[in-house]
């Protein structure tokens, strides 16, 4: 599997929405859309409506990251807006995880599970075999620009070991501080998908095309690999 890159669109310049999406459509592997309710995290960002507008402009997979207290209130509208992945936090679904996983699958979407830094992997052991993507937060959720939590490197290694030992098929994704300082560490630990935000992409240059090329060059230099890029 090639390393994949998922731009975090809460970090993009929304005044240049059309321009930036047009550039990213030929480069990114998927899009990461954060939906926050102001309760699970003290911030409010994008929405199912944003997904519906993005859906009209791209054929790439859209990953809806539900940082909300009650994901059951968002699954219907997020799926109907066009999300391909619906990623929910283990901290919010463990009281009814199987029902919500089934609901996501019934929409034809893929199931993502997200773990906060302090949440152990064994929280999801009853249903890990059902998921398509495991997202490991390497910062506390809710705000961009936080420092990398180094202890999460071992959690990534453990997630990879669990997958290999049990022949599971989920991909491993990291959300938080994916950039020049962490690319090598995360790749060596076993990460598959890098969510890139301000420090990893958008702050590298005002021109998104140039910023992407810089990100790609940095990643290749840090990891000594050419095995990245658009799925085409």
Find all residues with CB under 8 Å of 9, minimum gap 6, and list them: 31, 32, 33, 34, 46, 50, 54
**Could you give the CA distance from residue 40 to residue 56 in angstroms, rounded to a whole number?**
29
DSSP string across 151-188: THHHHHHHHHHHHHHHT---EEEEES--STTTHHHHHH
Q: Is 167 annotated as a binding residue?
A: no
Determine the pLDDT at residue 228.
Answer: 67
pLDDT category at 94 given cuts 50, 70, 90 is: confident
Flag whether 26 is in a domain: yes
Flag whether 230 is in a domain: no
What is the arithmetic mean of pLDDT over 24-49?
A: 86
Determine the pLDDT at residue 147.
Answer: 85
Flag whether 232 is in a domain: no
Q: Is 29 annotated as a binding residue?
A: no
Flag whether 23 is in a domain: yes
Flag whether 164 is in a domain: yes
Q: What is the mean pLDDT of the chain?
A: 93
Structural domains counted in the chain: 1
Q: Is 230 annotated as a binding residue?
A: no
Q: Is 200 annotated as a binding residue?
A: no
Flag whether 115 is in a domain: yes
b/e 204-222 (16+ beta carbons within 10 angstroms → b): beeebeebbeebbebbeeb
Assessment of whether the complete model's pTM goes beyond 0.85: yes
Strand partners, 111: 86
The helix/strand/coil state of 85 is strand
Flag whether 228 is in a domain: no
Q: Is 192 annotated as a binding residue?
A: no
Flag whether 46 is in a domain: yes
> Active-site residues: which are they?
34, 175
The helix/strand/coil state of 66 is strand
Structural domain range at position 77: 4-223
Which has the closest alpha carbon to 111: 196, 37, 168, 50?
A: 168
* Rounded-to-10 torsion of CA 205, 222, 232, 52: -50
Residue 109 sits in a domain of what CATH number?
3.20.20.70
pLDDT category at 232 given cuts 50, 70, 90 is: very low
Q: Is 229 annotated as a binding residue?
A: no
**Could you give the CA distance from residue 28 to residue 61 in angstroms, rounded to a whole number?**
10
């Amino acid at each position: 599997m090639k390393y994949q890159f998922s731009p975090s669109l809460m970090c993009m310049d929304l005044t240049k929405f059309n321009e930036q999406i047009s550039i990213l459509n030929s480069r990114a592997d998927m899009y990461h859309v954060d939906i926050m309710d102001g309760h699970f995290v003290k911030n409010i960002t994008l929405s199912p409506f944003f997904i519906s507008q993005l859906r009209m402009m791209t054929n790439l997979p859209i990953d809806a990251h539900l940082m909300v207290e009650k994901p059951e209130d968002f699954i219907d509208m997020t799926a109907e807006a066009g999300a391909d992945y619906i990623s929910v936090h283990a901290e919010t679904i463990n009281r009814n995880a199987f029902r919500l996983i089934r609901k996501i699958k019934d929409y034809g979407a893929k199931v993502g599970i997200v773990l906060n830094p302090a949440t152990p992997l064994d929280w999801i052991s009853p249903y890990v075999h059902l998921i398509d993507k495991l997202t490991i937060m390497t910062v506390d959720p809710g705000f961009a620009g936080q420092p990398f939590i180094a202890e999460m490197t071992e959690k990534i290694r453990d997630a990879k070991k669990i997958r290999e030992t049990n022949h599971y098929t989920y991909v491993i994704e990291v959300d938080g501080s994916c950039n020049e300082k962490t690319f090598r560490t995360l790749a060596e630990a076993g990460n598959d998908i890098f969510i890139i935000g301000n420090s990893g992409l958008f702050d590298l240059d005002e021109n998104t095309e140039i910023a992407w090329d810089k990100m790609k060059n940095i990643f290749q230099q840090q990891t000594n690999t050419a095995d990245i890029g658009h799925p085409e």
